[in-house]
Amino acid sequence: MRQLVVIVMLLFTYWNGKIDSSTYIGVIEHQDSLKVNAFIVLKNHCNSCHKIKRKASVFTLKNMTRYSNAINQQVFIKRRMPKGRTNRLAKTQEETLKIWLSSLKNP
């Protein structure tokens, strides 16, 4: 009986348009594009050096979420990265990283 009530409630919200698959797809696509934008920054401004000096952390689409806390620490809290005076990020590139990082905290 309980299960039936839950099923009816779920169907009702589904029909009511509060939940539909396109909502989820929209959210997922949006997060993917934030991620891809962030990856472009990591690829162009971090990997060129990490490839040579820090092989352990060459960023990829696959591992970047795992590194997100470390990236936040190094780029925004400690401000150690990107290493080297000539490697500063432009404001828009910082924003791109920030928006991606906050999308992970508030999915």
Q: Which residues bind ligand HEC (CB under 6 A)?
A: 42, 45-46, 49-50, 53-54, 56-57, 67, 70-71, 74-75, 81-84, 87, 89
Residue 47 CB, shortest distance to ligand HEC, in Å, is 8
**Helix, strand, coil shares, percent, the chain, to 5:** 75, 0, 25
Please identify, using beta-carbon distances, which residue of 31 and 89 lies nearer to ligand HEC. Answer: 89
C-alpha 55/C-alpha 49 separation (Å) is 9
The answer to whether 88 and 82 have CB atoms below 8 angstroms apart is yes
CB of 16 to ligand HEC, least distance (A): 43
Q: Residue 25 or 36: which CB sits closer to ligand HEC?
A: 36
* Least Å from the CB of residue 37 to ligand HEC: 13
Residue 58 near residue 51 (C-beta atoms within 8 A): yes
CB–CB of 82/46 below 8 Å? yes
Largest Cα separation within the chain, whole Å, is 67
User: With respect to ligand HEC, which residue has the nearer C-beta, 34 or 42?
Assistant: 42
For ligand HEC, the closer CB: 34 or 71: 71
Residue with tokens 């924003």: 95
Tell the smallest beta-carbon distance from residue 81 to ligand HEC (Å).
Answer: 3
